[in-house]
C-alpha cells in the first residue's frame, strides 16, 4: 500500500486490494443491485487522480477525518489519490498554518474550518471556510491574507457553527476570481468554486463520451435535470431540437447561462426538481439526470412517470439509491448500464443507466 495513512484515514478503504480486484468488486455490486449483468467498466489512473480535497483545520495543521472518529482530525502531509498540484498546496498550507484557532466540531467553537483545494487543467483554487458564529473572524481573515501560495484564486466563505458544509453561497473573493474553467470533449465550461464538478477529470471525460453515444440514438427534446452548469446539455446540443437545463443552485445556473453562450436551442431554469410539474413540458422528451447521493425526490419520479420520456439516462454516485429509484419506474426497462470508477481506492463509483420506455 502506497499511503502511510491507510487504515487511520477515513477516506480510502480499498487500498489493500489490487486495482483489478477493486473494479471486479464494484462491478459485481452494481450487477447485483441492478439485477443487470452486462455492465461496462471504465477506469483510468488509480492514484493521483482527484482534483479536489477538503482539508480540515486542527490546532497545529490540517488533515482529514480519522476513520471511525469523525470528531478527530488526522494530520497529513500528502494525499496520494489527489493530483500532485494539490499536494504542493497542502505543503504550502502546512508550512504557514501551524498555530490555528481551529473549529472543534464537538464543542462548536473555533474559527478555521476547511481549506478546500480544487484544480483544473489551468487553475488552482483554495476556498477557506470559516465559522460564521466565531468572534475571531477578523483575525482569521488577516491571517489568510498573509498566506503566500501558487494558487491562482482564493475565496473565503462562512458557514454556521451547526453546519458541517464545506461550500457556501456566503463568500467573497480574496484573490483572483470565483469561477473556474474546464474543458470536456472540446467544450469549455465555467463553474463556481462553491459548485459541484466531477472530481476525476479523466474518467469524467470518458463518462461524457459514453453518455453522448447513448444520446445519439434519440432526438426530440432533451431535459437536463439536476443539470448543474449544463455539461450534458451543451455537449449534446447538436442532437436535439430543444434542451432545457434545470437546477436549484443559483451559482450553477448562472454558470450554465455562460456555458450555453449562443446556442439558440438551449435554455435554463432555476428550479428545485421536485417542482418539475411547473414546467408543463410538451412534446417528445429524453431525460438525463444526475441527482445528489440522496437520489430523486418522489415527486420527481412521479412527474417523470407522467411525462413518459422515450428514454431516461440516470447518472448516479450512489448505486444503492439508484437501485431504489429505478424500481419506481414500472414502465421502463434497463437498456444498458456502465460503471465509471471516479473514486479508486474507495468503495464509491459512478454508474450510468439507460432506461427505455417499455411500450
Q: Is 350 a catalytic residue?
A: yes
User: Beta-strand (E) ranges in 230-331?
Assistant: 242-247, 266-270, 285-289, 311-316
Confidence class of residue 1 from pLDDT cuts 50, 70 and 90? low
| Given the residues 83, 182, 303, 350, the one annotated as active site | 350
At 132-157, the pLDDT tens digits run 999 999 999 999 999 999 999 999 99
pLDDT at 164: 93
Confidence class of residue 2 from pLDDT cuts 50, 70 and 90? confident
State pTM to two decimals. Answer: 0.94
At 76-133, the pLDDT tens digits run 999 999 999 999 999 999 999 999 999 999 999 999 999 999 999 999 999 999 999 9
* Range 19-46+183-357: architecture per CATH: 3-Layer(aba) Sandwich (3.40)
pLDDT at 69: 93
Q: Is 317 a catalytic residue?
A: yes
Residue 244 forms beta bridges with which residues? 223, 267
Q: For residue 288, is pLDDT > 80?
A: yes
| Per-residue CA distances from 38 to 47, 204, 218, 313 (Å) | 27, 21, 21, 16
Phi, psi of 34 (to 5 degrees): -90, -10
| Given the residues 182, 317, 349, 354, the one annotated as active site | 317
Confidence class of residue 304 from pLDDT cuts 50, 70 and 90? very high
Q: Does domain 52-176 have CATH number 2.40.50.1070?
A: yes
Q: For residue 359, is pLDDT > 80?
A: no
Return the number of other C-beta atoms located less than 10 Å from residue 145's C-beta.
11
What is the helix (H) or strand (E) element at residue 117, kind and residue range?
A: strand 112-119
At 194-210, the pLDDT tens digits run 998 999 999 999 999 99
Q: Domain map of the chain by residue range?
A: 19-46+183-357, 52-176
pLDDT at 358: 86
Percent share of the chain, pLDDT over 70: 100
Return the number of other C-beta atoms located less than 10 Å from residue 283's C-beta.
8
Q: For residue 20, is pLDDT > 70?
A: yes
pLDDT at 302: 95
At 219-254, the pLDDT tens digits run 999 999 999 999 999 999 999 999 999 999 999 999
Amino acid at each position: 500500500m502506497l499511503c502511510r495513512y491507510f487504515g487511520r484515514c477515513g477516506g480510502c478503504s480499498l487500498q489493500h486490494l489490487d486495482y483489478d480486484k477493486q473494479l471486479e468488486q464494484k462491478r459485481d455490486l452494481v450487477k447485483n443491485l441492478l439485477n443487470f449483468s452486462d455492465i461496462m467498466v471504465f477506469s483510468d489512473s488509480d492514484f493521483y487522480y482527484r482534483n479536489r480535497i477538503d482539508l480540515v483545520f486542527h490546532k497545529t495543521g490540517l488533515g482529514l477525518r480519522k476513520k471511525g472518529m469523525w470528531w478527530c482530525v488526522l494530520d497529513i502531509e500528502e494525499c496520494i489519490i489527489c493530483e500532485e498540484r494539490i499536494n504542493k498546496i497542502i505543503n504550502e498550507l502546512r508550512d504557514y498554518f501551524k498555530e490555528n484557532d481551529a473549529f472543534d466540531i464537538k464543542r462548536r467553537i473555533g474559527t478555521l474550518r476547511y481549506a478546500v483545494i480544487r484544480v483544473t487543467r489551468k487553475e488552482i483554487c483554495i476556498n477557506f471556510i470559516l465559522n460564521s458564529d466565531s468572534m475571531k473572524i477578523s483575525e482569521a481573515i488577516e491571517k489568510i491574507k498573509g498566506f503566500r501560495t501558487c494558487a491562482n484564486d482564493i475565496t473565503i466563505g462562512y458557514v454556521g457553527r451547526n453546519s458541517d458544509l464545506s461550500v457556501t453561497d456566503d463568500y467573497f473573493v480574496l484573490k483572483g476570481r470565483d469561477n473556474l474553467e474546464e474543458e470536456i470533449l472540446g467544450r469549455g465550461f465555467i463553474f463556481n468554486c462553491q459548485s459541484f464538478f466531477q472530481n476525476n477529470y479523466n474518467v469524467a471525460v470518458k463518462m461524457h463520451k459514453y453518455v453522448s453515444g447513448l444520446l445519439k440514438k434519440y432526438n426530440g427534446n432533451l431535459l437536463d435535470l439536476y443539470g448543474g452548469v449544463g455539461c450534458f446539455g451543451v455537449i449534446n446540443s447538436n442532437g436535439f431540437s430543444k434542451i432545457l437545463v434545470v437546477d436549484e443552485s443559483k451559482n450553477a445556473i448562472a454558470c450554465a447561462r455562460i456555458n450555453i453562450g449562443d446556442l439558440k436551442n438551449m435554455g435554463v431554469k432555476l428550479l428545485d426538481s421536485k417542482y418539475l410539474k411547473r414546467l408543463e413540458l410538451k412534446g417528445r422528451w429524453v431525460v438525463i439526470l444526475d441527482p445528489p447521493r440522496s437520489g430523486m425526490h418522489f415527486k420527481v419520479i412521479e412527474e417523470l412517470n407522467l411525462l413518459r420520456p422515450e428514454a431516461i439516462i440516470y447518472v448516479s454516485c450512489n448505486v444503492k439509491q439508484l437501485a431504489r429509484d429505478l424500481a419506481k419506474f414500472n414502465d421502463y426497462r434497463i437498456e444498458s448500464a456502465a460503471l465509471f470508477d471516479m473514486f479508486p481506492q474507495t468503495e464509491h463509483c459512478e454508474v450510468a443507466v439507460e432506461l427505455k420506455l417499455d411500450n
